[in-house]
Amino acid sequence: MSRIATISPVWGCSVDDLRALARLAEGAGFEAILSPEVPPFSALTNAQVFAEATSNIKVGTWITNIYMRQAVMAAAEALTIQEITGGKMMLGLGVSHKPVNARYEIEMGDPVDTMRDYVGQVKAFMDGTAPQLTLKRDLPKVPVYIAGLTKGAANLAGEVADGLMPYMATVEYVTELRGYVEEGAKAAGRDPSEVDITLGIPSIVSDDLELAQKAGIRGFSPYLNFPFYQRLMINNGYEEAIDKVRAGEKPADVFTPEMLDAVALVGPADRCRAKLDEFRDAGVDLPIIVPGAAGKQSNVEVMEHTVAAYSG
């Protein structure tokens, strides 16, 4: 089976649901199940729930906000999950968004520089080389991934991280991001092949294509309100659409089915798999499927449809 991962719902779900989702993904042969982070839900805590409910699948964060916890505690929590899983933890780090962080009175500063420092600290705390530590936990290395939608973030991933975690990128822009990772890796004297290129890809599986597209537009168009995703969609080639949003048009009226199809897997399973192959061909090492509901479905039902579409 080709490499493939998935996530739990962006807006969180019950602990019982988290356990059920993790077991479904593991049973389908997925490589990993990761948790987003939207307060009051913690991605690291959710990853621990995954870890304690499964035996073989990798678990981790997609992503955890670096501004909301000190690096030493992110490292400590990741190491505990690494111990529970016997070495199957993936630590995805991100900076979230200015409007979200401002809500909690967080000043972001320069996110690229902040991320560079944070990754260095986390790695030092996890491998025991940080001078503040008096103890070292003897565990396998935890791979550190960073979220990134721009050239600067992708360069940084190549420089300091074990992988890149972009989201909602087109096939063409994924190719660009991979090139930026290679630039960063070479500048740092690293082998670019050491950096795992993932991509979060929205997915709505349904035999009713029109229903799936409507659900996708309703669910994913709000991202166009966030500055980072506005920049992403411009890099994806949709500057005109972003100009309309900035001029006051509703994102749902601007986000067309064509735009959705460029960044997502939508419709019948065979149509979704064909688009997934395009992303793989563009250089995505690990697709991270972001499941969405076409109609009134529970979190578990959505995951059942998802793993059925992409497993095997």
Q: Which residue has the higher pLDDT, 312 or 213?
A: 213
Count of positions (residues) in the chain: 312
pLDDT cut 70: percent of the chain above it = 98
Residue 71 has pLDDT above 80, yes or no: yes
Residue 306 has pLDDT above 80, yes or no: yes
Query: Is residue 116 within 8 Å of 160, Cβ to Cβ?
Result: yes
Peptide bond into 63 cis (omega under 30): yes
3-state secondary structure of 178: helix
3-state secondary structure of 84: helix
Check the CA dihedral 122-125-130-132 and report its sign: positive
Query: Is residue 156 within 8 Å of 261, Cβ to Cβ?
Result: no
Beta-carbon contacts of 15 under 8 Å, excluding residues fewer than 6 positions away, are 49
* Mean pLDDT score, 87-111: 82
Residue 108 has pLDDT above 90, yes or no: no
Indicate the Cα dihedral angle 47, 51, 52, 57, nearest 10°. Answer: 140
H or E stretch at 166: none
Query: Is residue 215 within 8 Å of 204, Cβ to Cβ?
Result: yes
Q: How far apart are CA 68 and CA 161, in angstroms?
A: 20
- List Cα–Cα distances, 243 to 15, 97, 204, in angstroms: 41, 20, 27
Q: What is the pTM assigned to this prediction?
A: 0.95
E strand map for 56-195 = 58-61, 64-65, 89-94, 144-147, 163-165
Residue 211 has pLDDT above 90, yes or no: yes
Give the pLDDT of residue 312.
67
Q: How far apart are CA 271 and CA 292, in angstroms?
A: 16
Q: How confident is the model at residue 57 (pLDDT cuts 50, 70, 90)?
A: very high
CATH ID of 5-206+265-310, from 3.90.45.10, 3.20.20.30, 3.30.70.141, 1.10.510.10 = 3.20.20.30
Q: How far apart are CA 89 and CA 123, in angstroms?
A: 14
Average pLDDT, the chain: 95
User: Could you write out the DSSP letters of every residue in 122-158?
Assistant: HHHHHHT--TT-S-----PPPPEEEE--SHHHHHHHH
How many helices (H) and strands (E) are present in the chain, helices listed first?
A: 14, 10
3-state secondary structure of 77: helix
Output the six-digit token pair for 156. 């940084």
Q: How confident is the model at residue 104 (pLDDT cuts 50, 70, 90)?
A: low
What are the residue boundaries of the structural domains of the chain, listed by start?
Answer: 5-206+265-310
Q: How far apart are CA 232 and CA 285, in angstroms?
A: 20
pLDDT per residue as tens digits for the range 240-274: 999 999 999 999 999 999 999 999 999 999 999 99
Q: Which residue has the higher pLDDT, 39 or 80?
A: 80
Query: Is residue 19 within 8 Å of 49, Cβ to Cβ?
Result: yes
Output the six-digit token pair for 85. 């899983």
Structure-token match 């019982």, residue found = 16
Q: How confident is the model at residue 228 (pLDDT cuts 50, 70, 90)?
A: confident
Residue 296 has pLDDT above 70, yes or no: yes
